[in-house]
Structure 1
């Protein structure tokens, strides 16, 4: 066991970072990963997350999660686990806060619609778009585009990538962030952890938001073993939670216990994997099977919860109706901007008008992906005269 605050040999050490694409002198008071985190927090894309959908559209209620609150919850969970495993907490926080920067308005419905629009122009992947945001689209520095994050932060942001896009990345940046997708390698343990913390966070808060919305009930959730065990224990220990008016307290206590069990399971399972493989460096981690993960039993229960949420929340008729309208907004915005780039702001219009059709389409996709829910709805109404949302 490492001393508190001491990094394990398999953790990412900022002093041994593979560096930034544009070399910079070190900061006098911050590590490289602390600088990454700070740059992400100060980015325009990060601020826009507050008005981007998680499950429920931004205008549907003030207490539902947004991409911003989701990212903060991921960071909190990931940092807690990282501390127990002697991983780099600053890098974990940076990756967690940046992982959804490229997400479209209207959640996965918006992503699917934009991917369909871009089918003939290379498609659209929100993980790749998050990397594109930090590498190219943010305009904050005089000498380069993007915010010039470290390799390790960029690697963690790119959780998934198609082979075609990995090949394009590798051509532009040999042995860079696309390399592992072509060679079956793993990312750092910090990146692995953020990927799992993302899943833990959204499963838990989608239960909370689903019940708050009225689309899920505590009675329905009793079918989910991961939730029901903790609900029953909480009610047995605190009988007054069964009384009318205490449903929210019971829900929160069950979710709190469920999150704790998942966190402890990840820590125990990861320690077992570390004991079995004994990696002595970050590079050793990259050559091994994934080390951060659930136990087999917890993975099965998590999958059961995900299937439940898919059936009863994400595919609920009320959610689907809103998502159908959201996809129409994205498609019609794309078609309008592509047909007449002068509808775009001046800077994007200039780029779109000067480029060939694929470049025009990518400029349009970048602009739409950066929109908040409410801006996209307003723009659609301005261009089409239709008010589909909010």
Structure 2
């Protein structure tokens, strides 16, 4: 059963999220006469300061190492394209899938996961730091653009997708699961729950699930591309990598005289195509098997429906292992990331001891004496920096700053 919209018409399955039946926003607003709630959310995310800053935040390689490497921004755009394609194949709401995809990295620190590790260690006495929880803080609190409220006042379904795109965070008894089983829910998510219950024990919508697996597809394929461009891996090393090796042999057979940079692109596009097509087939089979008749059925079915086949999941895990061994843990990358962690540690320590040195909009008056409040404020400020600004601040405040090259 497929329903249709009036303006911005998309065919929509019964198990899709219906934008006209949204659970609404924390602060009520009049409906737009020209955009659905999720189209408005997408537009608010794109126009946010946090989204613009992704241009100068690390994906794998520091932003100044080369113009062709992915940044968080280019990665995010690629994820959103794949998410829309997956959503379209399932006849669910493309705009919601795109909004979740565009927002998914807004909580990342400078210098990627190295920055997150540094801030988590520093914030451990005060509730830790988690980029997914920080994303929720960005869109519900830290963006300050509107007169009536802090944050972007996104629709409930968009917030749900941001928080739960990788699956439930709790079991139905309220016990944290998965990555949060031992340490508990991170601060940003725990603090927001009293305002809006995001149903942390259920799965997210198919739209959010599409955004989550689009992220995996994008960075697996494109980190191979960037690793080759950086000279960290050679084409010959791909021969024994599942899927990539087959793509390499196919391209060389079809185009024996093709230049290497074109070979790389042909491999990457084949990787993306095969992974996307596998997800489409697998998800269609899962939907047919489970037969959800509403988005409620999707949330309560007890499994992720948008996923790789068992065979492709093994291939994807092998690609991840290859990237960890040859790119993410390569000696130069590791050295740079260690130095980046020190930059963020230095900045956090400086502002924690001297909170009045932060810009006026980051001052917080009487609460400054409460160390957890001060620490969270400093972490929010440092996490929002770009790679470039973090390095400039470090050079301004300290005698020696690593070059990160």
* TM-score bracket relative to the smaller structure: over 0.9
Q: Which of 232, 256, 261 matches 1:215?
A: 232
Which residue is equivalent to 1:283?
Answer: 296
**SS of residue matched to 1:283:** helix
Q: Which of 194, 198, 203 matches 1:172?
A: 194
Distance in 1 between residues matched to 2:371 and 2:58, nearest whole Å? 30
Q: Any residues of structure 2 matched to 1:153-164 within 5 Å, and which?
A: 153-158=158-163, 159=165, 162=180, 163-164=184-185
Distance in 2 between residues matched to 1:352 and 1:103, nearest whole Å? 28
**SS of residue matched to 2:67:** coil
Distance in 1 between residues matched to 2:95 and 2:12, nearest whole Å? 11
Asked if 1:117 corresponds to 2:117, the answer is no
Which residue is equivalent to 2:177?
Answer: none
Which residue is equivalent to 1:187?
Answer: 204
Determine if contact 1:341/1:352 at 8 Å carries over to the other structure: no
Q: 1:157 to 1:355 in 2, by over 3 A?
A: farther
Distance in 2 between residues matched to 1:351 and 1:333, nearest whole Å? 21
Q: CA RMSD in A?
A: 1.7
Which residue is equivalent to 2:319?
Answer: 305
Asked if 1:293 corresponds to 2:323, the answer is no
Instruction: Identify, as 1 or 2, the structure richer in helix.
Output: 1
Which residue is equivalent to 1:385?
Answer: 399
* Residue 353 of structure 1: how far off its partner (Å): 6.2
Distance in 1 between residues matched to 2:100 and 2:88, nearest whole Å? 15
Gaps of 5+ in 1: none
In the TM superposition, what whole-angstrom CA distance separates every residue of 1:22-49 from its partner, at most 9, and x where no partner exists? 1100001101000000000100000000
TM-score, with structure 2 as normaliser: 0.91
* Residue 343 of structure 1: how far off its partner (Å): 2.0
Q: Which of 236, 244, 266 matches 2:279?
A: 266
In the TM superposition, what whole-angstrom CA distance separates every residue of 1:151-180 from its partner, at most 9, and x where no partner exists? 111111114653333882475135x22x32
* Residue 87 of structure 1: how far off its partner (Å): 1.2
Distance in 1 between residues matched to 2:153 and 2:67, nearest whole Å? 34
* Residue 370 of structure 1: how far off its partner (Å): 0.3
Q: Any residues of structure 2 matched to 1:307-326 within 5 Å, and which?
A: 307-326=321-340
Which residue is equivalent to 1:19?
Answer: 24
* Residue 351 of structure 1: how far off its partner (Å): 4.5
Q: How many residues align structurally?
A: 381
Which residue is equivalent to 2:214?
Answer: 197
In the TM superposition, what whole-angstrom CA distance separates every residue of 1:65-100 from its partner, at most 9, and x where no partner exists? 000000000001111111111011101111111100
Distance in 2 between residues matched to 1:238 and 1:347, nearest whole Å? 57
Gaps of 5+ in 2: 170-179
TM-score, with structure 1 as normaliser: 0.94
